[in-house]
Homo-oligomer: A and B are copies of this chain.
Amino acid sequence: MNIKEVAKRAKVSTATVSRTINNSEKVKPRTAERVRKAIEELNFYPNTHARTLVSGRSRMLGLIISDITNPFFPELVKSFEDEAVQRGKEVIIGNTDYNPKRMAGCIQRMVERKVDGVVIMTSEADPGLMMELTRRNIPTVFMDTGKPGPHTANIRIDYAQGIQEALQHLFALNHRRIAFISGPMNLESARIRHAAFVDGMKERGIGDHLMLEKGNHRIEGGAMAMRSLLKMSPRPTAVMASNDLTAIGALGVIQDANLKVPDDLSLIGFDDISFAHLTQPPLTTITLSRTQLAVTAFAALEALIRKEDGSHADYTISTHLVMRRSTGAI
């Protein structure tokens, strides 16, 4: 079932069939009609591999994320895919699991599959590896990480903004002993969030003896870190977590210890995943619009793909505090 059989049935050449499929050049309406009928009757689907092989374009976009089981990412994937499907592109997802080895595997697959472009929403690989994509002239959009370069766009997320708002909120509520549970430190986004917290505390004159615990952006990591924090004396009166899953893990531990949020401890997450407002109490967190991020990333990538000059572009996305009951607000 290939283009030849269609051609034979429609009594035209394969070139004409190809032109009809792609409406790349003028085909006489009556001929096109015959071809379409033949395609219909034979139930013909063009072979994308043959197509990609000769044209060099695969109509696929790569999207690399760090953890598909973190609801932040599926929401992002969905928005991105919606954009792509509308434009007749396909998305293939690479899931790194916070693991540089798997990240390398993802990038290799993207190259092998000859994707038209890649969006990298994670950063646990060594920079050299990521540059492999630009070295092969594959348009790439980096989030957080990545230096300006040809065939490249950067999306910078203003994590610091949201964290400043959060600290301001906590200080207004008279919290001073504020702990922070970080994410995996091989992630640029986790490093930035961590640094923004430390800087914010320093600016407010509390630079020493910060209560910092390590998490991993997963629920168990948050739980484990929280157990350590509860052993401290005096223990913190507020906890900020590097993401919502971490906060949710912490919340469970706090409640298991028969402490009340926000009466005994205030809690703030990051990401505003859909479950954040469903916890008891609903979680105060920092929001980052998935739709905006996805739309920006897609637009940035399309722009890179279209223009030949390989010039660079930068985008910024803001973050903001969402007050809910886990800090006593509302």
Contact = CB atoms under 8 A, between A and B. Distances in A.
Interface in A239-253: 248, 251-252
Contact of A68 (B48, B74, B109, B274): B74
A112 B46 contact: yes
A78 B48 CA distance: 26
Interface in A38-80: 43, 45-50, 52-53, 58, 68-69, 71, 73-75, 77-78
A94 B81 CA distance: 10
Contact of A111 (B45, B109, B132): B45
Which residue of A112, A248, A278 has the most chain B CB atoms within 10 A of its CB atom? A278
Contacts of A49: 48-50, 52-53, 58, 113-114
Interface in A266-314: 274-275, 278-280
A265 to B, nearest CB: 16
- Chain A, interface size category, equals 35 or more
B71 A77 contact: no
Copies in the complex: 2
15 contacts: A47-B114, A48-B49, A49-B49, A49-B52, A50-B53, A53-B53, A68-B74, A68-B78, A69-B274, A78-B97, A248-B278, A251-B278, A275-B275, A279-B279, A280-B280
Interface of A: 43, 45-50, 52-53, 58, 68-69, 71, 73-75, 77-78, 81, 85, 90, 92-93, 95, 97, 102, 105, 108-109, 111-114, 132, 219, 248, 251-252, 255, 274-275, 278-280
